[in-house]
Every structure is written in C-alpha cells, then in structure tokens.
Structure 1
C-alpha cells in the first residue's frame, strides 16, 4: 500500500540539495488516460496517467493498515508510492469501488461516494462562474498539476491543483499571495504519516506584504521565517543563494513581486531529476531531490531530443570504455540505454565547442528536427558545465572506411559489391541534397569523408556529423585543415580563405566518390616515397575510355561499366577548380539515377598538377593511417 513518508532527512530550513536516490520506473497501463470527462468518470482501481507517464491520479491508502481511501496524485515512474497531492484530505472514503471522480452538471470536478444521487460531494473544484453552455474536462498534466479546463479550449484553465497545495510543492507551482484578493497559497503538513488531513504546520508568504516565508504552527504562532528576498536568495537561507548561483545548479529559483501577485517559483533543468518541497508532519521543510535511472519510458518523442546528464553518459557508455572512432569534432563511444531492449547508441564527446549552453541547445534542437532516411538520427544530448555530448542511433556496420580500405578476416572486412557501392554513393548524394536544399536553412556539412558515412545492418547510408560545423564556430577552418585524414577531401576554397558554400561539400563528395569506385585511399605513398594520387589517374583513364580499370581490383571486374563511367564523370565534375562549375547535389542525384546525361568533364587543373608526383603539394600531406 501507499506510504507518504519520504527518505529521512534532517533539513530544518529551505534547502541544499539533499541527495540523489536511484529509483525504478513503473510503466503505465495501456488503458490509462489523462482525462476525466462527462460520462467518463474515474472510479475503483482506474487511474489517470499524465501524457508522458510522469504522474498518476487515483484512489490510494496512505498505509497498509489504513482503512481509509483518498483521491490523490503520485509519482508514476517511481517504485515507492509517493503522494504529492490529495483532494479529500478531511473526508476519507471507505471503498473506492463505490466512489468516483466525475464532471458534475455545473461543470465542476466532484468526488462522490455511495448513493451519488443523495450524497453530497466529498470534494469539488468549487468554481462558481462556469457558463452553463460550457463543456469541461479534468486533465492531469506532466507537471503533476490537475486542471479543470474548457473541453473546446484546454488553454483556458478554470481551476488547478497548483493553486491548492497539500504538503508538497512541485516545480512549476507558485507559492505566493494575490494582492487583489488577499488570497495566499499555503503548504499544509499532513496530520500524521498515515493521515493526510491538514496538520499543525503551514508554510506561506507573509500575508502582511513582506517577501519572507513564514512557517506557522497551529494557525498563528510563527515557528520559522526565511527572511526577506534579496534578489538571489533569502536572508535566512544562505545555502539557497550559494546553490542557485552555482554553475552546476540543476534548478532555476526566483521571486516575482508584481502588481497583482507576489510569488516564489522554481524549476528543474533536467527531466531526470525528480524534486519537491515538502513540509513534513514535524514541521521540517525539506527539499527532496532524486535522480531517476534512464528507462524505457524516457524514449525520444518525435521531433524532440532526450536530455542526458554527464552521469547518465558515463553509465550508458560504461565510463567511455568502448571507443568506436574519432574525427574532426571529437571521439565516439559505443553505449546502450538501460531500457527494455538495451538500445545501442553512439555517444560523441565533442571537443572544441565554445558555445554557451543556451546557444548549444538551440543548435542541437535544430539538428534534432532534421530527419531523412540517409541522415543519422540524433536521439539526445548532454550539456553540463563545459561538457558537450551528442547521442546518436548506433549503426551496426560502422563507417564506410572500414569496408572500403580494410582487408583480412573479421567483421567489416568483406569486399563491398559494386551494386552496394553504387547505392551507397547515391544515398550519400541524397542525404547531402536534403541538407543543402530541402531543409529550412541550407546546412553545409564541411567534413564529408568515408569515416562520416555510416551503414546500418542492410548497408543503407546514414550521413553523420551534419550540423556540427556550426557548433565549432570560427574554429572550424582550423580544425578541419589540421585534422589528419580530412584535408584530402577539402575544397581549394578552404585553403584560399574564400567564403565556404554548399559547393565545398560537392567537392568533398567527388573525392569520396573516387574512393568508392577504387576501394582505396585517393592519396597513397609508394615504396619509393613518391605519392600516387588516384583522382588524377581516374580522370586520365576516363578520357582514354578505360574506366573499368579504375574499379577496385578485388571485384575482379564485376561492375556495371555504364555506372562506373557515370560515377567517374560525376566525380570529376564535382572536383572542378571553380565552385561554379560543380553541380548541385540535386543534379548529382539525378545523374547517378540516370535521369540526366552526364557530359565529359574537363580535367580540373588541380588533377593535372597533382598527377605528377613531383608536383605533390603539402596540401595533401596528411596521409591517413589504415
């Protein structure tokens, strides 16, 4: 049965953080709803569950030995029943099966027991001004707030439990005073640990107009005061000021002194944190904070991202023990979410991000809205102190470089067929076309290379790391031009310092396409120390009509010659010296699909120069290790 008593803490004043307790979640039942409506009452063992499953409302007993039942709200994703609000504190029920929460004929929510036609309501929202023509509903929100609203416009709140606290004050609620009516919201302690009736202790904002909070005993005797608000804390609670000013604080605290109302408020920054203010039966004011484990209920909602703490990330990745790789923007680690299916994820620890948290979250939110079959899906993020991490879906076949350049036994060392390679080239082109021309704002990837092309279990393409260049800000040029394994894919404009456009990605794609055809790095060192630059050789063979010799030798000639020629032509067009001569990625997609003819491209000046090993320049000196 339910118990109201929380963990035993010894805080006698407004709080410091009192500790994190790991809790297990309880999944909601399929039949649960968050709404009470006319003709849809709540009774017996039924309950309301908020939309995302955070809170539940139903009938409960405060202790196993109790014979009384109450209608209340409790945390739904915590194994220990913890009540946060009770409707009928002074009027317990004997049997929930003969009781119901319903919408009455006057539009109010009412709690009825026994013979509903004869018995008066044990509890009611008591709104006197509901128009007779209005249709109302009761809704349990994910904040833990029960509201009575107009069914046709749920933004119109006629009554809310946040204006009628019990002993608990949840984030988002306001503890204050209405200056027009003189009405004050109070926290009333329970009479006993198994009796939710109002006890002798109550916390309220000073009704005399000061900004201090008073803990009163027996209705009138002042038991404790917070002291007045100073702008960032209360004079009698120095701990609160120190904590609220900490950069590691998980909360936002504030006091509002307006024309019509004065109130204190607080919110949490992390949805994994479960917190509440409580006035317990002994008169102690407790600020109880707990951290939920990640669980199946914390799944990504379409169009939104899951926030993680750094501690979450350490747990998910087993303290970053399984490194998948590293690149221009940081290292990537394998992890698994502790949900029912142990969902695999890839966690990227970003390096060099200098954006503030607000701007970082804004940019990450933009990335999270971008969804395409050929773009990796961002699931969540962590922004804590100076730490910035991104959580992506995991791709079982890893990155393209493993399949193009590796040899020998083991996973990822099989030779990709020509058909698979061509579909990969097409998938990358489609992903880039979406980023450049189908998003609200053009997104330039800036780091297209095999290491950033991921493959799912069916070898379908997922372009990774898009949108990250903007997170690096002005440092992106320095990062890319000094990154080993990246410079060979960069367009000339990166070095000359001219403005970067989407055509820089087109150039990188062309370099990538050469490697997909050949199955080797574009730049390789010969035993005599000279350099073999494959794109120059491919352009020459294309002009000579010998494109089949450009194909990976491991395929033994098993490739469709027409597709090979088309791919080599597209690659040469993409790496033209002048960006205006390069096609758009949309045109590349059409060309590879065979929807448009591809003429013979001129050999770029760069390929002519680098075709001579004597003219090899430092621009391509960053040879990747394989």
Structure 2
C-alpha cells in the first residue's frame, strides 16, 4: 500500500519533465490578446545559426516554420519575420523590411486585436490595423501563414495577403500586388527602383525599374509551360501550387531579376524565367547601354559613342561619351544595330514605318533609343520608344520570327570649336590690319589685343569645361536653356535665392516637377566653380539622403542645375519659431530625430562610401531639404571638394562656408571631412533648441547659441534650452538633452576628437555611446562672416547671401 503513492509521484514527475522538454522542442503556434514580446535575450532566448544570423522565436509550428525577431551579421537591427525553422534561416515574409527595429523593440498583440511592432524609442514601425475586426487570437499555420482570427475562427488578417519577395504553396498573388526583391541576401530593404513581379488582368509580368517601368518577361494568361506546372491563374489571382513530386517549398524573386523555386533550405531547383528569356535578356546582366552576346560577353555599342564604366568589369555597363541634350533634332543621330533584341514587350506605336519611329524618338526628350520590329514582307511594324536603355541581347539572324532594328540616340559632336577657330582667325586678321593701318594708336592695339586674349582664354576655358562635362561618367540629362526657360515659365516661380543663385520651380513636358538652380552673379569665375563642383560631386551618384541632380544646362554664360523638387522646402522653415500660427507647424521630436539621422546618413555616404570622399563644406539648415514625407536630403554642393581617399587632409587657401557653421580649423587652412561634422553639430543644436545659432532678437548675452550651450553645460541647465515653442519637444526634453551629448562630441575644438559620421549614426541608432571625457569649451576665434568662397580679406556678406538658396 505504501508503494502506490511513490509510483504515482514518479509518473507525475516524469510527466512534468516530459512536458517541459516538449515545450522547449516545439514553441506554441497560437497567441492570445494582450500578449507582449520584447526583443532581448532575457525575454526571448536566441537560436543562432552557423552563418551568424539569430532568431528569437515567438511562434513555431512542427519544427518547420518560425515567427519572431530575426537578425544577421552584427545584429544591430531586426526584422519581425516568418522563416524556415532550420539551421539555415530563410526569410519568407517580413513586416518591416524597410524599417528594421533595434534591440529591446516590442511586439504587442493588443487587447483591441491589433498586432503592433514598436521600436525601442516607442515609435510605431508596423501594424495590422485590425482594431475594428473583433480579433480573438493569432496563429502561425503549418503552411507558414501568420493569421488573425475572430471568435468564430474566421480569418480577419493574414500575412499571405501581403507578399514581399516570396510565395509559399497555396499563397496567391492578386492583381495589383507585387513581389519586390531585397537589395541583397544581407540587405533586406526592398529594391523598389529595380525589379518587380506583378499580376495584371492580362497575365504575369516582370518589370525593371525605369520611367515608365519596362517589361522584361510577359506571360499573357500564364501560358508558359514551365509556369503552368507550378502556378494556377484563376479568379484574378496567381496561386503557387505545392508540387510534392519535386518538393518545391517556395519561389522567390531574386535581386538579379530571376524567379527561382527552392527546396528547403536553399537549394535551387527551378529558374522559372530563364528558360524562356535566356541569361542575356535579364535587363542588368551587362548593365545599362550594353550588348550581351550568346556567350554572355558584355560590350558597348559604338566605340566612339559609348565607353565601359569599368574596363575590368564589363558587366557594369556603358555610358555615353557625349551626354544627350534636349536640343533640336539636327544635333543628334542614331547608331543602328541589327540582330539586337530588346526586353520591352509593350509597343508605343503600331503599324508605323521606321522613319516615323525614329522621328518620334528624336522629338521626345526622354527617348534614348527606338526599337523597330517588322515582318519580312512589310515595311510597317511596331515601335518602342525607350526612356532607359538596359542590356540588349544579341541574337543570331533568322532566330526571331520577325526583323528587328535598334536605333540608339547619340549626341553629335558640336561644331563650336570650329566656330571658335574661325572667329579667332577673323579677329586676328582684323587686329593685324588695324596694326598696319593705325600704327600711331599703339595703346589702342594693346587694349584690343588684351581683350582678344581674354575672350579667347574664356572660350578655351569654356571648351575645356564642355569637354570635361562630356567625360564625367554617368552624367545626367543635358537640357537646353530654352527647355528650362519653358519649364519654369520664363523663370517666374522663384522658390528662393542666395548670393550666386536663384532657385525656380518648374514642370517638364512629362509632368515631372523640378527645381532649377540658376547660377548667376558678378563673379563669373565663382559661378563656373560652383557649377562644376556640383556636377562633379553629385552628377553621377544617387543616395536616398542626397538631393538628386536630374540634369544641367550650360549655354553661353548661363549655368543651370536641375534637381528633384522637394515640396516641403528647407529645414530652416520648420525649426525656427517665427511667431503667429507658425508654432503649429513646428516639427515634433520623432520627426526631428528622423531628419537628424537622414542628414547623418547622407554625410556618411559622402565621406566614407565612395572611392573619392566628398567634403560638403556648407552644411546648414538652408541646405537640408525635405520631401513630402519629411525625409531629409543634403543639397547645394557648390562649395564641395573632392578628395582622394588616401589623402587625409586638404590645404585650402580660401575659406568656404557660412559664418556660424564653420569649424575652428578654417583658421589653419588644413581641412578634413571633420569640418562637416562640426557643421552637423551646429545644425543638430539648432534643431534641438529651435533657434538660430546667431539670433540678435535674444538678449545680448544670448545672441550666440554656442555660448548659451556652453554655459548650460557648466551650470547643468540644458533643459532650459530645449525648444520651448514645441510642446512635443518639451515632453521629450530628457531625450533631447541626452542627444546634446552628440552635439558636444561633434563640436570638439580639436577636430581629431570629433567622431566620424558613421560613428554618429551608430550613436543615434543606440549601438554605441558618446565618448566620455569631452572638452566642453566650445569657444573659438571669430571667423569671417561669409557664405561663399573668399579670400581672408573679404568683406562680410549681406543678409540675402547668408540666407542661402532655398
């Protein structure tokens, strides 16, 4: 009788141990309302992979799928994602691919039935928006679908309805939805300007990014045999069918435009598009403006018209030797290519002849090539007008059931040099005749000769400038002066002006809004320097936090730069209180933090992510522009300087920049990128305090913000200088004063103690802390009050110049 309780106790203990082990082996697949998960080790232990990636599992099902926080590499940012729960984690879906969160971010399944992802700072990154749908519980299904259900077990939201770059068996792609690849296997950000796979009422189409997007794979009605084996097209949707014969687990649109089918974890079984396309038909196999042969050899069309971007890497594409302009048609001609196909499958014109097709391209500024397809017994055919020219596959004669001619538009070499020579010879003859006939007027001859020399030198410099512009790789579109004059309605819509430039709003023929910067002024040499600095600096680079240079115009003495239009203007209009109702338009704390991070990323790219680093030299709120979503972009590269990466310092004999934002080392003329870090610190301080660094409306002892900042550090009263006109800034005053440590680090008088911009980004993202033991003496000798390149003896600039172009 005594043994029975012992046996029962043993069995009960064994049951508890077995249940505990089972719970560790298989995570739950359901979650109820009011559940919260914090992204850290103490809350959710990590599961690590050999490749260094890590997942913190929230839900799991049958050791097959897992849902939770995922990171790779250094794990400074995380996705809330669904993955295969194997050693080699494969992301199948993510909620925040463009907005990763940090350590200690929170996923909250609220009592109202909404799944909300919040970053560590409390900002909402993603939500299901299901507060009005009576959600009762959440479930990760055995098909890898994250679903929210109501009390009747009816589905009210599912991840299958929001595809990213993958489709799982049973998942549908509906009309209007897209698969968009990630930038790379380690960069999850959506590659929005490159490839996409989209379903329309006509069928499945793969696109490459351009304006408008070009089709490189059409499947009208999904009639391709390979597609039919794995997909079904019905009721306006495309469904990926589970094929048990080959055990395909998912399909994925890759960063190179391929649509591949995989078996777990990462074995490629099928490449669905290549069988019908061929490798050369992928738009960027050989880069832009290039020809791809059957052996996948990449070459440039026309030796005299195009050159390789990199001779050692021909797959990087080609660039035109002479950039296209939008001048009259007689300034352009075509290179004709035969046996060259093209990816686009939607014609711009039907039943036209080749001349109509070519003339239509010449008359359309954005057209870079005309492709003409026609039958063997007719001269009429289909015409394609291409605004972007990607890889062009070479085909053998007779392979295609039709004939095809590709005409690439190129710019003629102008006859300006011939005109200059003829003009110069005429002037020399006149001068000689005058010299022989009016010998007594020697002084006059000297004056005339001097003028002629100056004119000829100016023309020579202009020709050298033109030649230099033509040789800058990746140059943007060259506009005619008349075209920009029309776009800006004769330069009537002025957005702002500065010392040497006025900025006008314009609209191109295709409806694209632009900002045209008209460089002008008495000092023509400075105008040319500013123009060349901007073109050389950002003419061929693209970054989300740099204002994009769309094009330029150089006509006689006129110099114009065409930028993307930034609808919310410059930063100074949003952070300084100007009285009246302006207070309601001041930016909140979260928006200001985003702007600060945007500026830092733009500068880090200029300083550290290019073969030649670019020092901006004029960072100030007037040169930070905001788009419609208040994304910040650095602009105005008129004073910038290109420096080789192996050159640590640059000696400059003239100062550049704006008083109040110039670093102390300008007095020594030895300059590094740390002058931009100093200027960034001043701008950051202005954003946090909501006032200008020099404000004479304040009491005299508070005119200079830097002096006020130093006193507050010494007295421990930093809360007093947080923007008092913004209630939201006051609400977050503690966080604001914490960021003032970043300001102090950036404003170190010794530039070697200032951080790099990449280090600033890590501080802003919470990865590292500000260096301790800083020098809080920010005073330095007064610099000359000027905003443009000048000699040290220059006079102070007027207020209109100090304001800078908007």
TM-score normalised by structure 1 residue count: 0.51
8 Å CA contact 2:530–2:637 kept in 1: the answer is: no
1:535 paired with 2:706, answer yes
1:99 paired with 2:377, answer yes
2:481 maps to what in 1? 310
Match of 1:581 among 728, 753, 773: 753
Distance 1:71 1:458 in 2: 45
Match of 1:141 among 407, 416, 422: 407
Q: CA deviation at 1:335?
A: 1.2
How far does the alpha carbon of each residue in 1:3-36 deviate from its partner, in whole angstroms, 9 at most, with x for none? Answer: xxxxxxxxxxxxxxxxx9989xxxxxxxxxx987
Shift in CA distance, 468/338, structure 1 to aligned 2, threshold 3 Å = farther
Q: CA deviation at 1:143?
A: 4.2
2:763 match: secondary structure: helix
Q: CA deviation at 1:313?
A: 2.0
Aligned ranges 1:66-465 → 2 under 5 Å = 74-77=358-361, 99-100=377-378, 139-143=405-409, 303-327=474-498, 330-339=501-510, 342-351=511-520, 352=523, 354=525, 364=535, 367-408=538-579, 414-465=585-636
Distance 1:374 1:343 in 2: 20
Shift in CA distance, 410/548, structure 1 to aligned 2, threshold 3 Å = closer
8 Å CA contact 2:533–2:641 kept in 1: the answer is: no
8 Å CA contact 2:653–2:669 kept in 1: the answer is: no
1:553 match: secondary structure: coil
1:518 maps to what in 2? 689
Distance 2:583 2:337 in 1: 52
1:490 maps to what in 2? 662
Shift in CA distance, 576/530, structure 1 to aligned 2, threshold 3 Å = same
Q: CA deviation at 1:382?
A: 0.7
Shift in CA distance, 470/269, structure 1 to aligned 2, threshold 3 Å = closer
Distance 1:270 1:618 in 2: 33
Shift in CA distance, 577/355, structure 1 to aligned 2, threshold 3 Å = closer
Shift in CA distance, 354/78, structure 1 to aligned 2, threshold 3 Å = same
Worse-superposed segment, 535-544 or 576-585: 535-544
Q: CA deviation at 1:133?
A: 11
Any unmatched runs of 5+ in structure 1?
A: 1-19, 24-33, 41-47, 61-69, 81-95, 103-131, 145-169, 174-230, 253-267, 272-301, 611-615
Q: CA deviation at 1:598?
A: 1.2
Distance 1:312 1:475 in 2: 40
Shift in CA distance, 133/393, structure 1 to aligned 2, threshold 3 Å = closer
8 Å CA contact 1:370–1:439 kept in 2: the answer is: no
- Measured on the aligned residues, the alpha-carbon RMSD in Å equals 5.3
Shift in CA distance, 362/524, structure 1 to aligned 2, threshold 3 Å = closer
Distance 2:618 2:481 in 1: 27
Shift in CA distance, 477/346, structure 1 to aligned 2, threshold 3 Å = farther
8 Å CA contact 1:353–1:388 kept in 2: the answer is: no
1:223 maps to what in 2? none
1:383 match: secondary structure: strand
**Structure having greater relative contact order (Cα 8 Å, sep ≥ 6):** 1
Distance 1:594 1:269 in 2: 44
Distance 2:469 2:798 in 1: 43
Worse-superposed segment, 569-578 or 319-328: 319-328
Q: CA deviation at 1:539?
A: 3.3
Shift in CA distance, 461/521, structure 1 to aligned 2, threshold 3 Å = same
1:163 maps to what in 2? none
The structure with the largest helix share of the pair is: 2
Q: CA deviation at 1:331?
A: 2.0
Distance 1:358 1:508 in 2: 22
Shift in CA distance, 327/588, structure 1 to aligned 2, threshold 3 Å = farther
2:673 maps to what in 1? 502
2:615 match: secondary structure: coil
8 Å CA contact 1:539–1:603 kept in 2: the answer is: no
Shift in CA distance, 98/381, structure 1 to aligned 2, threshold 3 Å = closer
Distance 2:699 2:573 in 1: 26
8 Å CA contact 1:367–1:467 kept in 2: the answer is: no
Q: CA deviation at 1:412?
A: 9.8
